[in-house]
Structure 1
Amino acid sequence: MALNQIEEGGVVILAVDGNLDGEGTNALEEKVLALLDNGVTSLLFDFSGLDYINSSGLRILVLAYQRLKKNSGTVAICGVKDYIQEVFEVSGYDKIFPLYTTRADALGAV
């Protein structure tokens, strides 16, 4: 898994490439917690390069959502491939997280 952090218009974008499992989830969780502890209030997960996400990866998204919701923050997701979007739909996460086709769409909405 590769993780790149970009900031654009006050939104921190975490671009995740590859498989989000095992060690990758640990790295992502550490990054998300550090960002939240440093006062970040808008997170955008760019999953356009993501090929797989396991339940631990989904748990990190929920963690970010719960922490940011308390502070009127936002979490959004963009670039989800069809088969990963099915995971979001089956789990009901598509009702929790706004899903956008492109990064530009997400940034315009967030």
Structure 2
Amino acid sequence: MDWGILAKNKMNIEKNYNGKELTIKVDNQIDTVTAPDFENEIIDEMGKFDSLNLDFENLEYISSAGLRVLISTQKKLQPEGIPFNIINTPPVIKDIITVSGLDNVLNMQ
């Protein structure tokens, strides 16, 4: 069994621009293995958008490593006044964000 391939199959990312608004849809899970790839996908788009939405409709799990990426992204975008929203957040992901105390920091819809 190739664990590298298995790990990469734990997260799927789809990017969609509507003008200068970027929506990144993330499926499956963001964990210690996939969080660096998730962060790199966001970093690769920096400077190309004036609004960022993360669509978590099909996200099943997010670890503390994934939460760190969310906070890091917000810290990069906030000084520039770029809106950052987490949309279509399933209850299980909302619970993880709430229990971590980040529901007052992150904009979830």
Which consecutive unaligned segments of at least 5 residues does structure 2 have?
A: 1-10
| Structure 1 residue 3: Cα displacement | 0.3
**Residue aligning to 2:43:** 33
| Structure 2 counterpart of 1:47 | 56
Runs of 4+ in 1 over 2 A off after TM superposition: 38-41
Superposed CA RMSD: 1.3
How many correspondences in the alignment? 99
Residue 35 of structure 1: how far off its partner (Å): 1.4
- Corresponding residue of 2:34: 24
| TM-score w.r.t. length of structure 1 | 0.82
Aligned partners of 2:49, 2:20: CA distance in 1, in Å?
Answer: 9
Aligned to 1:83: 92
Q: Which has the larger strand fraction?
A: 1
2:18 to 8, 33, 46: 8
- Post-superposition CA distance 1:45-79 (Å, at most 9, x none): 00001000001111111111001011111110011
1:9 Cα deviation from its structure 2 partner: 4.2
When structure 1 is superposed on structure 2, of 49-58 and 20-29 the one drifting more is 20-29
Match of 2:66 in 1: 57
Gaps of 5+ in 1: 101-110
Distance in 2 separating the partners of 1:95 and 1:8: 28
**SS of structure 2 residue aligned to 1:23:** coil
When you count helix as a share of all residues, which structure comes out higher?
A: 1
8 Å CA contact 1:5, 1:14 repeated in 2: yes
Question: What TM-score, normalized to structure 2?
Answer: 0.83
Q: Return the letter of the residue paired with 2:17.
A: E
Larger-Rg structure:
2
